[in-house]
Structure 1
Amino acid sequence: MSRQALLSVYDKLAALLEKLPGSLQEPVLRELEPIKEIFLRQRAPRVCVFGENAIELPALINALAGRAVLHAPILRGPWTPVQGSGTVDWADLRGSGSLSGGPADIYLLVATSSFSASDAHRTAEVLAAATPREGGGAAGLAVLTLGDAGDNARVLSALAETQASGAVLFSTHLPHSGLDHGFTTVSRSALGDRLCEYIPEESQLEMARFFSARGAQARLAGTVLKSFGAVAGIIGVQPIPLADFPILLTLQMFMVALIIHVSGREFSLRLAGEFAASLGVGFGAGLVFRETARAAVKILPVWGHMISGGVAGAGTYALGRAAIAYFIEGKRVLRLSHSRKLRKPLPSPGP
């Protein structure tokens, strides 16, 4: 879902919220502010790579993305957007060159057992000349060694002899064979989680999507869940006529769409339908709400059965929690009957 599409859906939601009593609009919009911060201000993170020239950068980026996303070398200096499940801007400063087009959000030093003192001094030179990030402060250095723990220790030892050692945020190592055979999902996710800790908030979503960083994705989806659950609770406890139904329905559908987006997938009726089926929500019942949902935001209308006055907040929270488990955590979702009793769990979607 592009930023423009997100903005369009958000505008439709805001138009519906204008139908609420004036006393409700301010607290509702306040709860939705974190959503604007994460999704409407999102941008691609900028990762500047340096280290050994012998490492094939396209092979590394493809291995980190978990699939082939880059088929040619990137230019030295300017940012090159690379789109996988998310989009990351990469720049190559190995050997020579200087950044152009904006400061880095984080520097990634990629090294092997061949990492030399000259490589370490080049790293220090780049960091010393770095332009501060927007909002102040220089980007830090993440060290990725392609080798074993001993190789990683030798790289850090070489950096310790330079001014670059003070900029190191964290270091980790992955097998060199990953350049040819790919890294495991767990290792890619762990690296993405660490990178997300040190970059600006508005760039974390795309980084988490690109690396399939499950920890960061769950945290961002949790913010979505908290905001939408609070908004539904505010609306649900008010004695509003039936006009509140399309508002609550739209909130729930928008929430699920955002969680799907955080997971690295693009929202589709098929995905929403699979999730609805995993909850045991019959499409026959969904048809009752189809026209209302179309008028609201034109996203699959299957959540209306969970809306019920004062339990709107709890129902929305339960729905969002199930969506996080299904799309991000890869867990089985407990199937719900129309009487809301738990049935047997259904399998979650494949990777």
Structure 2
Amino acid sequence: MSNERKPEELQQSLELIRNKLLPKLPASVKQKINPEVEKLEELFLNTRSPRFAVVGRRGAGKSTLINAIFQKEVAKVGSVVAETERASWHTFKDEKNETLMEVLDTRGFGEGSSERFALSEEDAWQEAIQDTYPDAILFLVKAKEVDSRITEDIKQLKSLQSLILEKHDYRPPIVGVVTQVDELDPIYDSDPPFTSEKNDAIHLAVSHVNKMLKKEFQDIPKVIPVCAYLAFKNGEIVYDRRYNIETLTDYLLDQLPGNTWMEWARITQGKKIQTRIAKTVGKSASTIAAGVGAQPIPLADLPIITSIQISMVAAIAYISGRKFNRKTLLEFFTAMGANVGTALAFRQLSRSVSKFVFPVAGNAISGTLAATATWGLCKAAILYFIEKRPAIEAKEAYDFNQEKPLD
């Protein structure tokens, strides 16, 4: 992610906490806050696009799955002959032409004659991963062909994983994907949600792939059944028969390094993913605010906590895919009934006053109030930016969550 795409306020706040605040904190408080700062730095300051390898036999639906995840026609679908000679990185870019996701698409396992392809499969892989490597490998098996030469394919899959380990000292996780489940019997039951009879057939296919993978791999996280069929006309989706794609994209979040989460949320446009990341940000921000607020320095923490809260809201707006600018922030805080420069500051001022009135216990009270206020803003921002709920609902959530613990 380029600097111009990062919420500037968040970057500045993290630098302030890292360089100015943490060195002055007691060791016990520093140990609690530092992991949360590191988590936010990984999410936002070191962000890059996620990378996948998509492998399987021709006809398993590699390009179709890529298009389904992108929700755009970005990969050419070959229906007659193998279209992919060299392994190639497909990229999805935003309106500024910056890469959000990279997918390594290879020609199908066991396909392609020497007359068509000069490179062997292993040579093609070597060429593709010379400078970079996938964060995870998606192993695609067509639902109606789970018994077809799968042992041979899994050995090739293991070779690819081993090659990446040897070249980059990284063992990418493997996720099995059973594709085209809509073609299983009964054939007339082709549109999800499926009947129990179709679901039984899907379960059998998934169980078989899972059993075969476990013979070679001890760390297979999951096998997920999908239908990825989309029809496009003039670049627009005109028919959508996707099944379980959101389950797949949600699950892949756990297989990806934290510094890819932001772009994964933006490209998949999944509310579950966006909400999960937003809550991660909110919990870290609340923990930091609690630690800062509990320090016995009246008023000195006011700009830091305010900055943390503003930055958190800016991050959630960014996660939601909103075009980020200061107007976006003002829009939210105005909807909450607060002006960033006045009401929010007064709320923080009242926290600090408790330190004068209760010199010892006031620190704990202040820290708790800082955490609950920050968490309340997080919940409100999720409703407003991600759920796109009316401002009044977001404000009610903020008011309600002032007294609620983190959940």
Is the TM-score greater than 0.5? yes
After superposition, the C-alpha distances for 1:254-273 in whole angstroms (9 at most, x for unaligned) are 11111223334442344334
C-alpha displacement at 1:183, in angstroms? 5.7
2:104 to 78, 81, 91: 91
Letter in 1 for 2:12: K
Q: TM-score, normalised by structure 2?
A: 0.64
1:70 to 69, 74, 78: 74
Partner of 1:198: 255
Matches within 5 A, 1:205-220: 205-220=262-277
* 2:175 is aligned with 1:141: yes
Matches within 5 A, 1:16-165: 16-17=16-17, 23-24=24-25, 27=29, 30=34, 31-54=36-59, 57-66=62-71, 68=72, 70=74, 76-83=86-93, 87-95=100-108, 96=121, 97-98=124-125, 99-100=128-129, 101-115=131-145, 117-118=148-149, 121-130=152-161, 131-132=164-165, 136-148=170-182, 149=199, 150=201, 153-154=204-205, 157=208
Q: Which moved more, 1:302-311 or 1:138-147?
A: 302-311
2:317 to 226, 250, 260: 260
C-alpha displacement at 1:325, in angstroms? 3.0
Query: Structure 1 residues 326 and 135 mapped into 2: Cα distance closer, same or farther (>3 Å)?
Result: farther
Distance 1:128 1:21 in 2: 46
After superposition, the C-alpha distances for 1:114-160 in whole angstroms (9 at most, x for unaligned) are 53624662343132342229664342132141224435734763675
Q: Unmatched 5+ residue regions in structure 1? A: 290-301, 343-351
Distance 2:251 2:6 in 1: 27
Query: Structure 1 residues 36 and 154 mapped into 2: Cα distance closer, same or farther (>3 Å)?
Result: same
SS at match of 2:139: strand
Partner of 1:349: none
Distance 1:63 1:45 in 2: 16
Letter in 1 for 2:13: L
After superposition, the C-alpha distances for 1:169-194 in whole angstroms (9 at most, x for unaligned) are 3222333544552466x944321121
SS at match of 2:221: strand
How many pairs does the alignment contain? 322
* 2:226 is aligned with 1:222: no
Distance 2:231 2:204 in 1: 21
Query: Structure 1 residues 13 and 261 mapped into 2: Cα distance closer, same or farther (>3 Å)?
Result: same
User: Matched residues, percent identical?
Assistant: 25
* 2:376 is aligned with 1:324: no
* 2:226 is aligned with 1:174: yes
SS at match of 1:47: strand
C-alpha displacement at 1:4, in angstroms? 6.2
Equivalent residues of 2:9, 2:307 under 8 A apart = no
Equivalent residues of 2:89, 2:103 under 8 A apart = yes
SS at match of 1:39: helix
Larger Rg: 2
Distance 1:187 1:331 in 2: 26
After superposition, the C-alpha distances for 1:282-316 in whole angstroms (9 at most, x for unaligned) are xxx45x55xxxxxxxxxxxx844542322333222
Query: Structure 1 residues 161 and 6 mapped into 2: Cα distance closer, same or farther (>3 Å)?
Result: closer
C-alpha displacement at 1:335, in angstroms? 5.2
C-alpha displacement at 1:69, in angstroms? 6.3
Distance 1:21 1:42 in 2: 23
SS at match of 1:316: helix
1:315 to 363, 368, 373: 373
Query: Structure 1 residues 53 and 214 mapped into 2: Cα distance closer, same or farther (>3 Å)?
Result: same
Q: Unmatched 5+ residue regions in structure 2? A: 78-83, 109-120, 183-198, 233-238, 352-365, 401-407
Equivalent residues of 1:79, 1:89 under 8 A apart = yes
CA RMSD of aligned residues (A): 3.9
Equivalent residues of 1:280, 1:335 under 8 A apart = no
